[in-house]
């Protein structure tokens, strides 16, 4: 295969020490620091670039950049350009004949060439003739290999551009969904969950395969997964804070718990025991074992003391001892809790809240105020919060109904536990056997956590982690961190 060679050495290139050299292997642009070399072997060419120069192949009016060590075959009509950095900029600006930098152009043809090479120095050409039949035969195969390399590089560049476009579009659409989720989640959490599912589908159907985008896409997917978890999505995993199999193995052995300062008292009606655990240290200690514990309705903390209760009695829990007190003045106990040394009781029989003094119940709500439905749970942070079986939360301060408004009321008939603290700004409740809902104290829903097939017995506030601990029937205590 025949070829023409044009060599360009502009003034700027000369001042920088650029030279053009030729040997039996090929052509080279070089100075003391950099070089651009095309090596001709049989019908192939090998590219070597050291520094900021580059090699281009032009085929059928399409240009591709050849990276160093690229190999390829050449075909008739191809042009190969070797360019130093200055000439590279000039080429990009449309220059082809009058370079200030250093350049070599090789044009492959099937025509007979008498003057194959032209050297342009300061725009003045001179010609050198050289016939080397074996070299020409070698060069005959260079273009084809270079075409493959150029085509591959061109395809690779096109693919990269397409992948980048898909990623940017996916990221933009997912981020828009996240903003939309944030705007509606406190009003309609079901709509927010559907938006999150839509965002998850956008990621799954993005068509992105390039490795560098997959890692970023995985981060987006993880973020959406965390959002779905807070909106009631199914089949999600939760952090395990403690496993009660360290105490005893079996399902549904622990009915309830009370928490204070990082430790929890676990009540087991099945075992007739109270055990103290530290989720951080994974430690355990049996506090007391007594048959009377099997009839209890629940336990709670009140300052430095711990209590359990049934319909007729309240028991102070001590190490290896229970101190019982008869309850009077309360018709039907819903739940009991403590605050600043005082004990408060939900009395569904009298539709009221009672305050216990030495076991005697005294109505706490102001005259004429009664509970609006059957109440299943009570919690105190200076105000008294109660949970109806319907899932509605009521707030009472100094015996007066505060008309607490909720942004979302779940469709429930079996809501059963409500927990808060004066050290956190949220409320947590169990609205059915496998779902925990979180509200701000302004009534806005903050999150919904679906435990799917895992059934829940009780919840508690872990103040130091701004978290909710969830006691499940499977013996695990899960942690939900509230952000």
Q: Are 426 and 379 in contact (CB under 8 A)?
A: no
Same domain, 82 and 62: yes
Please give the structure tokens belonging to residue 181.
């989720």
Please give the structure tokens belonging to residue 263.
């430790």
Same domain, 294 and 314: yes
Rounded CA separation 336/366 (Å): 19
Residue 414 forms part of a structural domain: yes
Domain boundary among 206, 230, 254: 230
- Residue 337 has a pLDDT of 98
Please give the structure tokens belonging to residue 467.
């978290």
* Nearest Cα to Cα of residue 23 among 132, 120, 105: 132
Same domain, 323 and 468: yes
HSE at residue 225, side-chain half, CA atoms within 13 A, is 12
Separation of CA 220 from chain center: 5
Same domain, 76 and 204: no
Domain boundary among 164, 199, 230: 230
Same domain, 135 and 157: no
* Nearest Cα to Cα of residue 208 among 173, 246, 256: 173
Tens-binned pLDDT, residue by residue, of the chain (483 aa) = 677 889 999 999 998 899 998 887 788 999 988 999 988 776 778 888 888 899 888 888 778 778 777 777 788 888 899 999 999 999 988 899 999 999 999 888 877 655 444 444 443 333 343 445 455 455 545 555 555 555 444 544 545 678 888 888 888 899 999 999 988 888 889 999 999 999 999 988 888 888 888 888 889 999 999 999 999 998 889 999 999 999 999 999 999 999 999 999 999 999 999 999 999 999 999 999 999 999 999 999 999 999 999 999 999 999 999 999 999 999 999 999 999 999 999 999 999 999 999 999 999 999 989 999 999 999 999 999 999 999 999 999 999 999 999 998 888 889 999 999 999 999 999 999 999 999 999 999 999 999 999 999 999 999 999 999 999 999 999 999 998
Find where tokens 């350049």 sit: 103
Same domain, 272 and 404: yes
Residue 223 forms part of a structural domain: yes
Same domain, 393 and 262: yes
Distances (CA, A) of 308 to 243, 296, 327: 23, 7, 12
Rounded CA separation 54/68 (Å): 8
Same domain, 213 and 274: no
- Residue 123 has a pLDDT of 38
Longest Cα separation, the chain: 121
Q: How many CB atoms lie within 10 A of CB 171?
A: 18
Residue 148 forms part of a structural domain: no
Residue 97 forms part of a structural domain: yes
- Residue 208 has a pLDDT of 82
Same domain, 330 and 393: yes
Residue 418 forms part of a structural domain: yes
Residue 381 forms part of a structural domain: yes
Same domain, 456 and 348: yes
Domain holding 197, by residue range, is: 153-230
Q: pTM for the complete prediction?
A: 0.66
- Residue 248 has a pLDDT of 96
Same domain, 264 and 214: no
Rounded CA separation 468/56 (Å): 63
Q: Are 72 and 171 in contact (CB under 8 A)?
A: no
Please give the structure tokens belonging to residue 265.
């008292």
Per residue, the 3-state secondary structure of the chain, as one string, reads CEEEEEEEECHHHHHCCCEEEECCCEEEEECCCCEEEEEEECCEEEEEEECCCEEEEEECCEEEEECCCCEEEECCCCEEEEECHHHHHHHHCCCCCCCCCEEEEEEEECCCCCCCEEEEECCEEEEECCCCHHHHHHHCCHHHHHHHHHHHHHHHHHHHHHHHHHHHHHHHHHHHHHHHHHHHCCCCHHHHHHHHHHHHHHHHCCCCCCHHHHHHHHHHHHHHHHHHHHECCCCCCCEEEEEHHHCCCCCCCCCEEEEECCEEEEEECCCCEEEEEECCCCEEEEEEECHHHHHCCEEEEECCEEEEECCCEEEEEECCEEEEEECECCCCEEEEEEECCEEEEEECCCCEEEEEECCEEEECCCCCCCCCCCEEEEEECCCEEEEECCCCEEEEECCEECCCCCCCCCCCCCCCEEECCCCCCEEEEEEECCEEEEEECCCCEEEEEECCCCCEEEEEEEHHHCEEEEEECCCEEEEEECC
Residue 70 forms part of a structural domain: yes
- The number of folded domains in the chain is 3
Residue 146 forms part of a structural domain: no
Domain boundary among 230, 262, 296: 230
Task: Specify the CATH number for the domain of residue 452.
Answer: 2.120.10.30
Q: Are 269 and 293 in contact (CB under 8 A)?
A: yes
Q: List, in order, residues 6 or more apart from 18 with CB less than 8 Å away.
A: 9, 29, 30, 31, 84, 101, 102
Same domain, 116 and 265: no
């Amino acid at each position: 295969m025949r070829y023409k060679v044009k060599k360009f050495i502009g003034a700027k290139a000369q001042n920088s020490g650029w030279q053009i050299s030729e040997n039996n292997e090929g052509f080279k642009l070089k100075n003391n620091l950099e070089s651009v070399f095309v090596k001709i072997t049989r019908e192939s060419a090998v590219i070597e670039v050291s520094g900021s120069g580059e090699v281009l192949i032009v085929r059928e009016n399409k240009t591709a950049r050849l990276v160093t060590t690229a190999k390829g075959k050449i075909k008739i009509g191809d042009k190969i350009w070797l360019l130093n950095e200055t000439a590279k900029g000039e080429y990009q600006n449309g220059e082809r004949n009058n370079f200030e930098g250093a350049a070599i152009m090789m044009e492959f043809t099937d025509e007979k060439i008498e003057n194959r090479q032209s050297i342009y120095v300061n725009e003045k050409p001179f010609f050198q003739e050289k016939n080397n039949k074996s070299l020409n035969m070698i060069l005959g195969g260079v273009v084809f290999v270079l075409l493959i390399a150029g085509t591959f590089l061109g395809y690779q560049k096109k693919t990269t551009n397409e992948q980048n476009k898909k990623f940017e579009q996916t990221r933009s659409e997912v981020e828009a969904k996240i903003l939309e989720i944030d705007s509606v989640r406190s009003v309609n959490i079901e709509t927010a969950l559907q938006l999150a599912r839509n965002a998850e589908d956008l990621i799954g159907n993005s068509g992105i395969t390039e490795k560098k985008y997959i890692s970023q896409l995985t981060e987006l997917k993880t973020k959406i997964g965390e959002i779905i978890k807070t909106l009631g999505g199914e089949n999600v995993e939760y952090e395990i804070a403690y496993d009660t199999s360290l105490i005893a193995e079996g399902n549904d052995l622990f009915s309830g718990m009370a928490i204070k300062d990082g430790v929890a008292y676990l009540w087991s009606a099945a075992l007739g025991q109270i055990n103290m655990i530290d989720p951080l240290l994974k430690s355990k200690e049996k506090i007391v074992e007594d048959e009377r514990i099997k009839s209890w309705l629940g336990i709670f903390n009140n300052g430095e003391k711990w209590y359990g209760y049934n319909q007729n009695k309240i028991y102070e829990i001590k190490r290896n001892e229970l101190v019982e007190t008869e309850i009077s003045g309360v018709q039907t106990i819903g739940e009991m809790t403590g605050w600043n040394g005082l004990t408060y009781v939900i009395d569904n029989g009298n539709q009221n809240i009672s305050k216990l003094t030495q076991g005697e119940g005294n109505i706490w709500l102001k005259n004429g105020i009664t509970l609006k439905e059957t109440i299943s749970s009570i919690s105190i942070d200076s105000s008294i919060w109660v949970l109806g079986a319907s899932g509605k939360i009521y707030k009472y301060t100094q015996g007066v109904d505060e008309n607490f408004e909720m942004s979302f009321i779940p469709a429930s008939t079996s809501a059963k536990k409500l927990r808060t603290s004066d050290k956190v700004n949220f409320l947590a409740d169990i609205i059915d056997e496998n779902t925990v809902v979180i509200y701000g104290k302004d009534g806005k829903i903050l999150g919904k956590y679906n435990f799917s097939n895992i059934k829940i017995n009780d919840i508690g506030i872990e103040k130091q982690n701004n978290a909710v601990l969830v006691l499940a029937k499977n013996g695990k205590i899960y942690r939900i961190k509230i952000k």
